Amino acid sequence: MNTPNKYKVFLKKALLQANIRINGNRPWDIKVNNEDVYAKVLTGGTLAAGETYMAGWWDCEKLDELVARILENNFTSKIKTPKIILSYLSAFIFNQGHKSKAFKIGDKHYDTGNDLFEIMLDKRLVYTCAYWKNAENLDDAQEAKLDLVCRKLGLKEGQKILDIGCGWGSFLKYAAEKYGISGVGITVSKEQIKLAQKLCKGLPIEIRYQDYRDLNEEFDHIVSLGMFEHVCYKNYRKYMKIVRKCLKNNGLFLLQTIGHDTSTTRTDPWIEKYIFPNSMIPSLKQINKAVKGILEILDLHDFGTDYDKTLMAWFENFNKNWEKISKDYNQTFYRMWKYYLLTCAGSFRARKN
């Protein structure tokens, strides 16, 4: 007589609370390819969930829908594995955003290959949330976001702008072309520098391989789009002090970041290991605390629901153009990147990010 798989029984029952079936026929149901997945996931948490997906132990037609349902039902909060507990302790004890680790994210993620990002992103290579209010496609939505930033700052011709975490120079290039500014962009990615310098050639823009802690000059305005997630909570106040030091008295600082409703000191273990090492999503409370007595918050704008649509557009591009770059990657990478984009889309859909 076969003994029932206790892990399977528990997981099946728990998932039903989120209207998810194992081996069901709906797009968000899970198809199990390896029966060992139940014990692996329940003892290894979200890290194991991602790793077993990468290994092909399970599949799901609509990963984004699956994750949205799981998060809406707070399913992951019911499982506290030793690895999750250790990740909390590690983030509390160690400074994940220490200067000695600043360039790891460049090596691990942004240097993956410009070819990957060129097939996935919009024509301007903006790797942050687009603004879809009046846009129907990714190119227009990203230009709308760049222009929104320029208008919030009130850019004027001749001003000098700093972009902390400039990526491929998309914002500075747009602002120079449309508003006549000059600028400095800093990044920790060698691959981004190569392409950014090429794309910004002929414009009054300097792209540097530099950590934000080494900045020591004044600018009319400062922007940081999608970089603050790599600063980590122990460095938030230091970051704001550096921004203030580099900002002219009448200048504005515009920060675009993913956020959490609640404060945390860690990131998801799978994201930490495979996508964004030494990363952390801040809360508004943490940002408020970091700027107190240094900067004054004048404007808040939440368009987090637009990140769901942005990530789905990125996945569509990545999936459609995969064959163009597949010779330089492998199927495990494809599954990893698919899991990253679609699970993140689901998290924004569930309003957890």
pLDDT for 278 equals 85
Least confident of 53-57, 193-197, 260-264, 346-350: 260-264
Least confident of 56-65, 101-110, 254-263: 101-110
Any alpha helices (H) in the chain, and if so which ranges? Answer: 6-16, 37-54, 63-72, 82-93, 104-105, 114-120, 138-153, 170-179, 190-199, 236-246, 269-274, 284-291, 305-325, 331-349
CA proximity to 313, closest of 64, 6, 9, 69: 64
pLDDT for 81 equals 46
pTM reported for the whole predicted model? 0.90
Least confident of 80-84, 132-136, 186-190: 80-84
pLDDT in tens, 207-242: 999 999 999 999 999 999 999 999 989 999 999 999
Confidence band, pLDDT 50/70/90 cuts, at residue 40: very high
What's the sign of the alpha-carbon dihedral 332, 335, 341, 343? negative
Neighbours of 294 (CB within 10 A): 14
> Given a cut of 80, is residue 340 above it in pLDDT?
yes
Please confirm, yes or no, whether 166 is among the known catalytic residues. no
Mean predicted lDDT score pLDDT of the chain? 90
pLDDT in tens, 76-90: 555 544 444 344 334
Structure-token pair, residue 328? 């330089």
Confidence band, pLDDT 50/70/90 cuts, at residue 112: confident
pLDDT in tens, 243-275: 999 999 999 999 999 998 888 877 889 999 999
Average pLDDT rounded to a whole number, residues 98-122? 75
pLDDT greater at residue 194 or residue 94: 194
Neighbours of 227 (CB within 10 A): 23
Confidence band, pLDDT 50/70/90 cuts, at residue 102: low
> Given a cut of 50, is residue 38 above it in pLDDT?
yes
Q: What's the chain's length in residues?
A: 353
Confidence band, pLDDT 50/70/90 cuts, at residue 5: confident
Any alpha helices (H) in 121-183, and if so which ranges? Answer: 138-153, 170-179
Is 49 exposed, middle or buried (CB count within 10 Å of its CB: 0-12, 13-18, 19+)?
A: buried
Average pLDDT rounded to a whole number, residues 196-205? 97
Average pLDDT rounded to a whole number, residues 131-158? 98
pLDDT greater at residue 261 or residue 152: 152
pLDDT for 264 equals 84
Least confident of 8-17, 134-143, 156-165, 249-258: 8-17
pLDDT for 267 equals 85
Exactly one of 129, 166, 200, 344 is catalytic; which is it? 344
Q: C-alpha angle 233/185/219, rounded to 5°?
A: 85
